[in-house]
Amino acid sequence: MDKFLIDRFGRSFPYLRLSVTDVCNFKCSYCLPDGYKGDAGGFLGVDEIRRLIAGFAELGTRKVRLTGGEPTLRKDFLDIARVVSQTPGIETVAMTTNGYKLPQRAQSFYDAGVNAINISIDGLTPERFELITGKNRFEEVMDGLNLCREIGFAPVKVNAVLLKDLNDSELDAFIQWACGGVNLRFIELMETGENRAYFDKYHLSGDVLVKKLVDSGWSETARDVLGGPARVWKHPNQEGSVGLIAPYSRDFCTTCNRLRVSAKGGLHLCLFGDGGHDLRPLLQLDSDKETLKDTVCELLDLKVAGHGLHDRHTGATPHFASIGG
């Protein structure tokens, strides 16, 4: 009998977020304010990733997002991208990046099979960008963004974490930027195991953004079956789009369509779950593929209806770099 990724609530999961490293070279205040301090090693190898993606593809996965940390810090990142893009059944290979050295490397990512890219840009001036990310690389990242649009990544999106008193004063400027054809995705700040004080100080409800959009004539669009969790607005007279990922909104989890695998092979059924389920022993031999598929389907029965963020239950995730956000 064919097996598919459908949970006991009827949700299907055609989208896999695969972290290839938890190492990051930025110091974003909402994630790794003191920089990366983990053990930079022991991550899944290219052959393990090949087996993982092959198994998931046969279960119905059609989109894979390569994340981190900063995924491009892997010296074999292009090999990983090629393996994923060449897997039968995978239609979209996306990546999320902080834009480090993107002007020099964007073409190689595209040539390796990455066809969609999200670039994190949390501020629209060099000063604000550095304040939030800890790095003076605003011009480099913007140049990389423009190059990606020229190369033909489809789509190119910009991620920005919504932060009270840090970048909310730029909301109008962000929206105006979207009017010129940029696809923005704002992300509500989420509480994790290590950022409670930061969350309490800087969290801002996405309702602030929604009101600005609605008051300015933007309309919400229908969700893409392979899309992420963002609600997306468009304006009839403008080219771009503005999205919002608002995990504290009502019924956020009812549209969940993605699973996560950490850089060391842990299957995470929810970003805010209590831990991962180790798939790595099943990634050592091609002959273990059926066992891998059976195991993933069995584990999916453990997926719960929703997260516990409203009760301040953040699960086992210490910070977003640990399992790819």
Walk along the chain (325 residues) and give the pLDDT tens digit of each residue.
467 899 998 999 999 999 999 999 999 999 999 999 888 889 999 999 999 999 999 999 999 999 999 999 999 999 999 999 999 999 999 999 999 999 999 999 999 999 999 999 999 999 999 999 999 999 999 999 999 999 999 999 999 999 999 999 999 999 999 999 999 999 999 887 678 899 999 999 999 999 999 999 999 999 888 887 889 999 999 999 999 998 777 676 778 889 999 999 999 988 766 668 999 999 999 999 999 999 999 999 988 866 555 555 555 566 556 656 5
Helices (H), the chain: 46-58, 77-85, 102-111, 126-133, 138-151, 171-179, 196-202, 207-215, 289-300
Structure-token match 């991208």, residue found: 81
What the block records as the tokens of 311 is: 């009760």
Spatial distance between the Cα atoms of 113 and 314, rounded to a whole number of angstroms:
34
CB 269 within 8 A of CB 262: no
CB 167 within 8 A of CB 128: yes
Question: Residue 197, Cβ neighbours under 10 Å: how many?
Answer: 8
Q: What is the pTM of this model?
A: 0.93
| CATH number of the structural domain 15-322 | 3.20.20.70
Write down the pLDDT at residue 1.
42
Write down the pLDDT at residue 99.
98
